Chains A and B, each alone.
Chain A
């Protein structure tokens, strides 16, 4: 049986590992390479690395850094941030990325999404959707939360599913870094509207939060602060989930 994946989501800024709250106030945590080495040895199921400032600074992905990261990573590595051309995807794959996460272009430039899928297949593409709840409605944001697209989340994800993206990474900006639990209503809404795998992130503060997200329809658990700032570990998370009858990999 397919296992629920536990995926540390690692944010980088200027080659350093950072984490903030609600996409703001980033704190520097330390070296990304050290973090990757630790997670690769701790039986996490996948790693997501997102550069939070590349797109806004009009920079390409940092290929050298991705190459260094991938040297220590024998599990799937998803890389995002700064991808605006198909050449960037090709260079990232040559640097050791396995999957590509795209946020801004998923909403603004679906031609790029289509081109990537045509060239590399659906499985290469993780569509990252950043969402804020405004007046009870879930609206998509781009450019690391700076730009309000005014587009509804269900509308955007339906378009992406039809184009053929492989997975959806859904992030609640409101819950990001708050460690107060995932936005379960958002996870339910997305999982009812698409039939492709969903990775959820934003708000995880405990193993129970992970269980709640899975029971709300998440196929994979993305988490950051819980692993960066607390003693809780991916391995213990899996033990907790297993005790609650969730299939995980050991």
Chain B
């Protein structure tokens, strides 16, 4: 039996995330209780804001420990990190001083390069296309070149290129989908990316 938990650790547009999952599957819950992680099958880590604040909220709410424990016990757990939630899956970030992440996908977070071109701005806000680098169930039926909605200033650099599923170009090419088996991070917002985003969410629920 599937149990899908969206972690509510005092961050952004949770309602939008919940609604987009409920399009496909009714039993999806927002949770503030770290104990809900124990018997879950799918965990969604949303998030907007800064890396350090995000990690502090994860730790103070107790979710940090419960996620790490769950990953140690249950090798089949499916995790989707969205935007900041993707970045929190990394080993550490450097924004506002080095801060350790969940270390579930090896790599680090850096600021996107700025550009001399007036047209390429940071934050990277809007619809941009993904270039698929590696097949994975999470991108089943999603065409190479599909557009997704982004809003971020930082990027996830993985230690191992095998963790890169898709890239996107702005001021530089950065990783838009990363994964280590069924632990997946997306830099864009699938809940706000129209049909392509809803397809990705469907794929996640069916992992």
Report whether A2 and B170 are in contact in the complex, using a CB–CB cutoff of 8 Å: yes
Interchain CA distance A2-B20 in the complex, whole Å: 23
Within the assembled complex, what's the spacing in Å between the Cα atoms of A166 and B15?
21
Which of A5, A45, A121, A196 has a CB less than 8 Å from the CB of B50?
A121
Asked if B128 and A76 make an inter-chain contact with CB atoms under 8 angstroms apart, the answer reads no
Q: Which residue from B12, B16, B149 sits with its C-beta under 8 Å from A70?
A: B16
B169 near A75 (CB under 8 angstroms)? Answer: no
With A123-B152, A196-B121 as known contacts, state yes or no: A3 contacts B19, CB within 8 Å: no
Cα A3 to Cα B168 with chains together (Å): 12
Chain A positions 70-103 with a Cβ under 8 Å from a chain B Cβ = 70-71, 74-77, 93-98
B124 part of interface (Cβ distance < 8 Å): yes
Interface residues in B172-207 (C-beta closer than 8 Å to A): 189, 191-194, 197-198
Which of A70, A75, A123, A196 has the most C-beta atoms of chain B within 10 angstroms of its own C-beta?
A123
Q: Which of B81-118 contact A (CB under 8 A)?
A: 84, 118
Taken together as a complex, chains A and B put the C-alpha atoms of A167 and B126 apart, in Å, by 11
Cα distance A119–B194 in the bound complex, in angstroms: 27
Interface of A is mostly: loop
Residue contact A249 to B50, C-beta cutoff 8 Å: no
Task: State in angstroms the CA–CA spacing of A249 and B192 once bound together.
Answer: 14
CB distance from B46 to the nearest CB of A (A): 11
- Assembly CA distance A41 to B43 (angstroms): 29
Q: Does A131 contact B (CB under 8 A)?
A: no
From residue A216, how far is it (CB to closest CB) to chain B in Å? 12
A2 touches B124 (CB 8 A): yes
In the complex, residue of chain A having the shortest beta-carbon distance to the beta carbon of B125: A197
Inter-subunit contact A2/B127 (CB<8 Å) = yes
The B136-153 residues at the A interface (CB cut-off 8 A) are 147, 149, 151-153
Give the interface size bracket for A toward B.
35 or more
Query: With A98-B13, A120-B49 as given contacts, are A75 and B192 in contact (CB-CB < 8 Å)?
Result: yes
Residue from the list B12, B129, B197 in contact with A121, Cβ < 8 A? B12
Q: Once the chains bind, are A96 and B16 in contact (CB under 8 Å)?
A: yes
Contacts of A121 in B (CB 8 A): 12, 48-50, 84
Given A122-B153, A124-B12, verify A1-B128 contact (CB < 8 Å): yes
Q: If A1-B169, A93-B14, A196-B121 touch, does A45 touch B151 (CB 8 Å cutoff)?
A: no
Q: Which chain B residues lie closer than 8 Å to A70 at the CB level?
A: 15-16, 19
- Knowing A93-B14, A217-B118, say if A74 contacts B127 (CB, 8 Å): no
**Complexed CA–CA distance, A191 and B129 (Å):** 24
> How far does the alpha carbon of A249 sit from the alpha carbon of B194 in the complex, in Å?
11
A184 to B118, CA, bound (A): 17
Nearest chain A CB to B58 CB, angstrom units: 15
Q: Which residues of B contact A (CB under 8 A)?
A: 11-16, 19-20, 23, 48-50, 84, 118, 120-129, 147, 149, 151-153, 169-170, 189, 191-194, 197-198
Which positions in A face B, CB cutoff 8 Å?
Answer: 1-5, 43, 45-46, 67, 70-71, 74-77, 93-98, 119-124, 166-167, 191, 195-197, 217, 219-220, 249
List 7 tightest A-B contacts by C-beta distance, closest first.
A121-B49, A123-B151, A96-B15, A3-B127, A249-B127, A98-B13, A249-B147
